[in-house]
C-alpha cells in the first residue's frame, strides 16, 4: 500500500513539473489564460497534498500503535 502512495506522489510531482513547463511554453507562444493555468496547477497541488496527508496519517498511526505496544510490555 505505501509503495502505491509514494509512487502516486512521485507521479503527481512529475505532473506538476510537466504542467509548469507546458504553461511556460504556452505563455511564450501567447496563451495568457492565467485562470486555466492556475486551475491546472491547483488540481496537481491538491493531488500531491492528499498523498502527503495519507503518508503523514499512516506514519502517525504507526507511531501510536508502537507506543501502545511499549505500554503493554
Residue 70: pLDDT band with limits 50, 70, 90? confident
Looking at residue 30, the DSSP 8-state letter turns out to be T
Residue 1 in this model has a pLDDT that exceeds 80: no
Residue 69 in this model has a pLDDT that exceeds 90: no
CA angle 39, 56, 72 (to 5 degrees): 160
pLDDT at site 67? 85
**Tens digit of each residue's pLDDT (9 = 90 or more) over 25-67:** 999 999 999 999 999 999 999 999 999 999 999 999 988 888 8
Residue 14 in this model has a pLDDT that exceeds 90: yes
Cα separation, 5 vs 55, in Å, equals 7
Amino acid at each position: 500500500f505505501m509503495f502505491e502512495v509514494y509512487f502516486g506522489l512521485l507521479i503527481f510531482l512529475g505532473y506538476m513539473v510537466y504542467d509548469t513547463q507546458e504553461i511556460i511554453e504556452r505563455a511564450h507562444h501567447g496563451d495568457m489564460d492565467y485562470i486555466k493555468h492556475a486551475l491546472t496547477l491547483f488540481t496537481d497541488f491538491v493531488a500531491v497534498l492528499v498523498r502527503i496527508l495519507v503518508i503523514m496519517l499512516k506514519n502517525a498511526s504507526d507511531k501510536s500503535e508502537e507506543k501502545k505496544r511499549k505500554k503493554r510490555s
